[in-house]
Amino acid sequence: MMSLCSKLFILFSSISLVTSQHSSLDHFLQCLPLHSNPSNPIANAIHTPNNASFQHLYELHAVNLRILSSPSKSKPLAIITARHASHAQAAVVCAKRSGVQLRIRSGGHDYEGLSYTSDVPFVVLDMFNLRSIKIDIVSETAWIQAGATTGELYYQIAEKSDVHGFPSGICTTLGIGGHFSGGGYGNMMRKYGLSIDNVVDVRLIDVDGTIRNRKTMGEDVFWAIRGGGGTSFGIILSWKIKLVRVPRKVTVFNVQRTLDQGATDLAYRWQQIAPKMSKDLFIRLQPEPISDATNGNKTIRVSFIGQFLGRARRLIQETDSKFQELDLQLSDCNEMSWVESTLFWAGYPNGTSIDTLLQRVQDNKVFFKTKSDFYKKVIPKQGLEMLWELLMEIGNVFMQLNPHGGRMEEISESETAVAQRAGYLFKTQYTIHWTESEGGIGAADGYVEMSRRLYSAMARYASSNPREAFLNYRDLDIGSNGSNDTDFAVARVYGAKYFNQHFLRLTRVKAMVDPDNFFKNEQSIPPLPSY
Ligand SMILES: Cc1cc2nc3c(=O)[nH]c(=O)nc-3n(C[C@H](O)[C@H](O)[C@H](O)COP(=O)(O)OP(=O)(O)OC[C@H]3O[C@@H](n4cnc5c(N)ncnc54)[C@H](O)[C@@H]3O)c2cc1C
Ligand SMILES: *[C@@H]1O[C@H](CO)[C@@H](O)[C@H](O)[C@H]1NC(C)=O
Ligand SMILES: *[C@@H]1O[C@H](CO)[C@@H](O)[C@H](O)[C@H]1NC(C)=O
Ligand SMILES: *[C@@H]1O[C@H](CO)[C@@H](O)[C@H](O)[C@H]1NC(C)=O
Ligand SMILES: *[C@@H]1O[C@H](CO)[C@@H](O)[C@H](O)[C@H]1NC(C)=O
Ligand SMILES: *[C@@H]1O[C@H](CO)[C@@H](O)[C@H](O)[C@H]1NC(C)=O
């Protein structure tokens, strides 16, 4: 299966030492021990370019080679690998006092690398050592620290129970810290909503370095960090989640059709039916250009990758009655435990040990540029045909169309900061990916330009006014304003695309808790100006 979780590449990158700004760095480094608990010494958590560990650590959780190897991106003055909450608290207090910017990284999957790059002098607070997961099956809840990955969460749930799961992302190396606060969708979205719909409490470090929970932060902040991006409001230390029930056996399939095999008609039909089928069924549509095995000609292969929370026979009844055209057969179906299905979705072959879920880092990085859309209307057949032509022309590209509907229709849009609830058929990502041998960083501008062409070609079909985008698929093209400079007029543009009607409420919450805009990046939420 084509996924970024399963791509090969060897990393080339050099760290250029930042020599300026020594005084604020020195100030920051001297401040840290004074503001952390001496019973948990912070010295071993501090890495500057002088430490041999620095470069390896910098690259370890940085997923996109387009960002990592870009010569125009500067590197942090220091990386703080917090081993204790007090280290993260000290990083906030000291960054504020010494005027260095703080970037927060959990799993490093940010599509634009905002967790590990900045245009102004900055330090990275790296959360990957804070990754404990405490599951209580009796109350069906768990506390998960920000640095844990989705794979670790799935593994640990399965160790305790074979009838529980959690609705989160499909890639198993995502950091819980970033992933949840941008919403977090996965293949149980139609049954249980997003990750944040199943979050019941949180521990967050605020701008003063104080740890707050749901009660002490208040419902406004708790609302904002569920979908508004944690990074504008503080540092997520841990989330408390409510586990969901899954059957002992779920069914997965991956049925593929090329253009000759009627892919266009099927993709057209999928748009109409996938958001309306049983909540237990999630079928992702994944078109990509390939060369036809029989004649070498270019074609489009559309994968219908599905998950059903139940046995195969019941799944076939559902598809036969509602999506006959797919012609799903029992022999296409694979029954397995829920935890095994997480490996299937991450692209691992049948029979892969579930210990693989504990591999925290992708060793197969690629260069990529992704853009996203939400769709409220069906793309007509001629639109699909235009799209296929463009995909074949681009070559190194795949799309994922993820159906909404089901539970997503039921959750009120005011419940969390996620605006895209009822009335959306599916969300899409367009990903152009390439390797060093396909041009590496030198080819980045050309590939990014192609992604913009594709995006503008789809404008007439996607949601509009505003044309919406998914925060977890971060895209700086939709508007951004430099690392240090959150201009309200600019923020309003990307803010409306990500958060639609919720943008203003988010800026009011921001004004309440971080009026000086300490927690910021190129697409953060600015405080509502007081005129
Ligand atoms: C291969 C791949 C597959 C993906 N699949 C899915 C998917 O199935 N579903 C989905 O919803 N998304 C998916 N994503 C997107 C992913 O959810 C986002 O990139 C998410 O932000 C990643 O979180 P992270 O902690 O790994 O990344 P980071 O790069 O560490 O962080 C992302 C953002 O969150 C901020 N942040 C990180 N940690 C914290 C914290 N502790 N407190 C406050 N702010 C923090 C960062 O500063 C940054 O702005 C995928 C991404 C990739 C690369
Ligand atoms: C990095 O180097 C400094 C100065 O030599 C040292 O105090 C610190 O402990 C080192 N960090 C790590 C993680 O070893
Ligand atoms: C390959 O495509 C060309 C152009 O569309 C067509 O003429 C040719 O018949 C195709 N080859 C096969 C073997 O189908
Ligand atoms: C997957 O593996 C199981 C047992 O490990 C086997 O029964 C099943 O047939 C396999 N499925 C496929 C599609 O290979
Ligand atoms: C931010 O936006 C404002 C208003 O458009 C502009 O004047 C300023 O130059 C921008 N700053 C950066 C760093 O892009
Ligand atoms: C960043 O912004 C702050 C004020 O918000 C200012 O004091 C500082 O000089 C700016 N730094 C750079 C490098 O622009």
Q: What is the mean pLDDT of the chain?
A: 95
Would you say the CB of residue 291 lies under 6 angstroms from ligand 3? no
Q: Rounded to an integer, what distance in angstroms lies between the CA atom of residue 152 and that of residue 84? A: 19
CATH topology classification for 250-336+366-457:
Vanillyl-alcohol Oxidase; Chain A, domain 3 (3.40.462)
Question: What is the per-residue pLDDT across 349-368, written as a single tens digit (0 to 9) for each?
Answer: 999 999 999 999 977 899 99
The CATH number of the domain covering residues in 133-245: 3.30.465.10
Residue 479 CA to ligand 5 center (angstroms) comes to 11
Would you say the CB of residue 120 lies under 6 angstroms from ligand 6? yes
Would you say the CB of residue 484 lies under 6 angstroms from ligand 6? yes
Would you state the pLDDT for residue 21?
56
- Give the active site residue among 473, 494, 498, 531: 473
Question: What is the per-residue pLDDT across 272-311, written as a single tens digit (0 to 9) for each?
Answer: 999 999 999 999 999 999 998 888 899 999 999 999 999 9
To the query of whether residue 473 is one of the catalytic residues in this protein, the response is: yes
Q: Using a 6 Å CB cutoff, which residues line ligand 1?
A: 4-5, 63, 103-111, 114-115, 127, 146, 169-171, 174-175, 177-179, 181-186, 230-231, 235-236, 472, 521
Residues counted in the chain: 531
> Whose structure tokens read 């899954």?
246
Residue 27 has pLDDT above 90, yes or no: yes
Q: Using a 6 Å CB cutoff, which residues line ligand 5?
A: 481-482, 485, 487, 489-490
- β-pair partners for 284: 305
Ligand 6: atom nearest CA of 121 is: 13
Residue 111 CA to ligand 1 center (angstroms) comes to 8
Would you state the pLDDT for residue 512?
97
Question: What is the per-residue pLDDT across 166-182, written as a single tens digit (0 to 9) for each?
Answer: 999 999 999 999 999 99
When pLDDT is averaged across residues 380-409 and rounded to a whole number, the result is 98
Could you tell which of 1, 8, 106 is best to mutate to test the pocket of ligand 1, judged by most ligand atoms within 8 Å of the CB?
106
Q: Rounded to an integer, what distance in angstroms lies between the CA atom of residue 519 and that of residue 196? A: 21
Residue 99 CA to ligand 6 center (angstroms) comes to 8
Confidence of residue 531 (pLDDT cuts 50, 70, 90): low
Q: Rounded to an integer, what distance in angstroms lies between the CA atom of residue 362 and that of residue 499? A: 30
Confidence of residue 5 (pLDDT cuts 50, 70, 90): low
- The model's pTM is 0.94
- Domain ranges across the chain: 4-126, 133-245, 250-336+366-457, 479-531
Question: What is the per-residue pLDDT across 472-529, written as a single tens digit (0 to 9) for each?
Answer: 999 999 999 889 888 999 999 999 999 999 999 999 999 999 999 999 999 999 999 9
Confidence of residue 2 (pLDDT cuts 50, 70, 90): very low
The CATH number of the domain covering residues in 4-126: 3.30.43.10
Residue 59 has pLDDT above 60, yes or no: yes
Would you state the pLDDT for residue 363?
75
Written in H, E and C, the secondary structure of 16-70 is CCCCCCHHHHHHHHHHHHHCCCCCCCCHHHEECCCCCCHHHHHHHCCCEHHHHCC
- CA distance between the termini of the chain: 53
Q: Which two tokens stand for residue 420?
A: 């895209």
Q: Which two tokens stand for residue 83?
A: 């081993």
Q: Is 336 helix (H, G, I), strand (E, B) or coil?
A: strand
Question: What is the per-residue pLDDT across 73-111, written as a single tens digit (0 to 9) for each?
Answer: 889 999 999 999 999 999 999 999 999 999 999 999 999
